[in-house]
Amino acid sequence: MAVSSWVLVTGGAARLGREIGLAFARSGWNVLCHYRHSQDAAQATAAEIRALGGECALVGADLSQPRAAAELLGACVAAAGQAPRCIVNNASLFDADDAASASAETLQRHLATNAVAPLLLANALAAHLRTRDTPAPGGWHSVVHVLDQKVHNLNPDYFSYTVSKLALQGSVALQAQALAPHVRVCGLSPGLLYPSGPQSQANFDRASQVNPLRRPIEPADVARAALFLAENASLNGCTLQADNGQHLVPLARDVMFAIDENRQP
Ligand SMILES: NC(=O)c1ccc[n+]([C@@H]2O[C@H](COP(=O)([O-])OP(=O)(O)OC[C@H]3O[C@@H](n4cnc5c(N)ncnc54)[C@H](OP(=O)(O)O)[C@@H]3O)[C@@H](O)[C@H]2O)c1
């Protein structure tokens, strides 16, 4: 009997999380689709995954809560009957601030959802696997921390968000060292994919061309990069940049603000 593989995709209801769930399902994986508020969208994504022939279970959690990661991993084991083979830490908070307006509250809020929860989910998976009598082959289980091209191409806009993603980026190597041989840990840095925050569609349409390939980044390509990290058992402690090379285009401000200051990107 074939061994079923389950992936937990946090923030899996819509946008990149939905693409990631669909990419895994197309490759024969079953999906644990995590959501917080987007239950209707999560159900729609689950229907798409089932139409592809995969199983899909919905798991809800507010990842800003200190115990959320451990409880979510427990809910996943209960729903799938086994630990997820991969966790894609995709859920993220992206609220605007800058270095001057960042506060203890904005920093802690971004760190809780964007760094603490992903790190504790990875820890919870490794802790669960350590208790098993029969260890899985090395490299079988993995965690993909979704980062951002911003961490390779710094500017001080979205300050608290960027600090949280930098913390997660730095932890890729730390967790790859600490959680081996039970869990591989890799990073995945997308570039601009969707309009976010105050960004208008017109601004997004221009900003999405600001990369060496001068065309929008395909979310499905980013999703397939997550699948590649999960399925290639030799990848550990590395980060893939799926961004049309956007990280090679330095800007003094976030691209959504930079293009309004300079109308010829
Ligand atoms: N969008 C881009 O252009 C872009 C660019 C570079 C990197 N990225 C990265 O790629 C990933 C996906 O981006 P995206 O734009 O698709 O994400 P998004 O739509 O901004 O957020 C994804 C999901 O995160 C969930 N979430 C937020 N706070 C949460 C909390 N406290 N607890 C549980 N879930 C929470 C939300 O779930 P609910 O809706 O269910 O509440 C939301 O749907 C993120 O890690 C992001 O940093 C995105």
Could you give the C-alpha distances from 92 to 77, 105, 148, 153, 164, in angstroms and in order?
Answer: 23, 16, 11, 19, 10
Please give the distance, rounded to the nearest whole angstrom, from the Cα atom of residue 92 to the centre of ligand 1. 4
Q: Where residue 265 falls among pLDDT bands split at 50, 70, 90? A: very low
| Mutation choice for ligand 1 from 22, 43, 92, CB with most ligand atoms inside 8 A | 92
pLDDT value at 180 more than 90: yes
pLDDT level of residue 262 (50, 70, 90 thresholds): low
Query: What are the extents of the domains in the chain?
Result: 6-199+218-247
State the pLDDT confidence band at 264, using cuts at 50, 70 and 90.
very low
The answer to pTM > 0.85 is yes
Strand, helix or coil at 131? coil
User: Given this model, what pLDDT does residue 2 score?
Assistant: 54
* pLDDT over 90 percentage in the chain: 92
Pocket residues for ligand 1 (CB within 6 Å)? 11, 13-17, 35-38, 61-64, 90-94, 113, 146, 148, 190, 192-194, 196
pLDDT in tens, 34-80: 999 999 999 999 999 999 999 999 999 999 999 999 999 999 999 99
Report how far ligand 1's centroid is from the alpha carbon of 122 (Å): 18
Amino acid identity at 258:
A
Q: Check pLDDT > 80 for residue 87.
A: yes
Structure tokens at 99: 């270095």
Quote the CA–CA distance of 181 and 137 in Å, as a whole number.
9
- Whether residue 199 has pLDDT greater than 50: yes
Q: For the domain covering 6-199+218-247, report its CATH number.
A: 3.40.50.720
If you average pLDDT over every residue of the chain, what do you get? 96
**What b/e string do you get for 17-27 counting C-beta neighbours within 10 Å, with b at 16 or more?**
bbbbbbbbbbb
